[in-house]
Amino acid sequence: MFRITFRRMLLGFFAFMSLLGGAVYATHLTSYWSSFTSEEYPPLTSSNGYLIDGFFCSGGYCDNTYIRNRLVNRNYGHSYWTSFFSEEATNNRICSGANEFVTGVACKGSYCDNVSLQCTALTNGNHNSGNCQWTPSFSEEEGSQYLPAGYYAVGMQCLGSYCDNKRIWACRLE
């Protein structure tokens, strides 16, 4: 008799979703990991009500980027994409408004060398710039970077060839 375990069913679901080329869509999950993006794939974006509290990368030079989305029950207002950046010249972008958080990541260039961030204003929440910090750098060697509890991505910095090492500007949600 054929028996499907919960683990197999879950793995099958994630494989099916990755074939669709989209993120695992959240309906009522408290947190979830996206599929990945790179220069060959479309940008990643968070669902309304979620903010990014973790990053993971794999592949040479941190080529494939994943985001972890956490439910914060805040509504999105306007959003925009930053200009692309890399380790050359100005090597970071930070969302400019006190109510803006990173809700998306896009790549172009070899190994996701150039990064753009989607900044989104929350209609019912903000951050205090005095309560922000840079994370330690991470790459595919370390794998993931989780932000401290209650902190969410507001910016990113590229270090190393092809933006191999990244740091996150994380601020506490007020």
The pLDDT of residue 17 is 42
Q: Could you list the pLDDT tens digit for every one of the 174 residues in the chain?
A: 334 444 334 334 443 344 334 444 444 579 999 999 999 999 999 999 999 999 999 999 999 999 999 999 999 999 999 999 999 989 999 999 999 999 999 999 999 999 999 999 999 988 877 899 999 999 999 878 999 999 999 999 999 999 999 999 999 999
pLDDT at residue number 159: 95
Q: How many degrees, rounded to 5, is the angle at CA 151 between CA 136 and CA 141? A: 30
**Helix, strand or coil, per DSSP, at residue 19:** helix
In this structure, how many other beta carbons lie within 10 angstroms of the beta carbon of residue 68?
A: 21
Cross-strand partners of 93: 156
Domain ranges of the chain: 6-173
